[in-house]
Amino acid sequence: MKSIIVYYSLTGNVDYVARKIAEKLDSDILPLSVLNAYPDKGFKKFYWGGKSAVMKESPELNEYKFDKDKYDLVILGTPVWAGTFTPPLRTFIRDNDLKCKDLSFFACCSGAGTMRCINNLKHEIGIDKETINLELVDPKDKNDDYVCQKIDEYCKKIKEAYEK
């Protein structure tokens, strides 16, 4: 089973999870980055990122290579911004039709709203089928047993689904 993890991360949590999953599933990774980077500190971080998410912006992404036909599974990862997925994912989804691919999702937040975020992402892609998902709260600095266990369980579910 060949998989790729496509994700956006501003402050490292989603990146941390993506790399852990990639190790376990031997996945390729595609970190998305935006041409005009969002501020990553202080009030500006929340203001500009939050506004961009609420306004449903599709910021221009730096160039990337993605050949969806190479993969059995595409895993999409995002932080929760203003209760939903991040704008760079919106651009990626707009530019790549993923409706017919096998998809899985993970989202990181600092409070709540991961499932709503994932459902919004699925709605934007145009799918409503059940998917294997992973939800975490600011996992990077915790690096604790609970986080590792949740990542392990998620990867195990994916492996089982594809070994059938």
Which residues make up the interface to ligand FMN (CB under 6 A)?
9-15, 45-46, 49-50, 79-83, 108-113, 138
Query: For residue 133, what are the CA distances in angstroms to 77, 78, 106, 117, 121?
Result: 10, 12, 5, 11, 12
Task: Name the residue with the smallest CB distance to ligand FMN.
Answer: 49
Closest distance between ligand FMN and the C-beta of residue 128, in Å?
23
Closest distance between ligand FMN and the C-beta of residue 18, in Å?
9
Closest distance between ligand FMN and the C-beta of residue 45, in Å?
5
Nearer to ligand FMN (CB atom), residue 46 or residue 146: 46
What contacts 24+ positions apart, CB below 8 Å, involve 37-44? 38/10, 40/10, 40/11
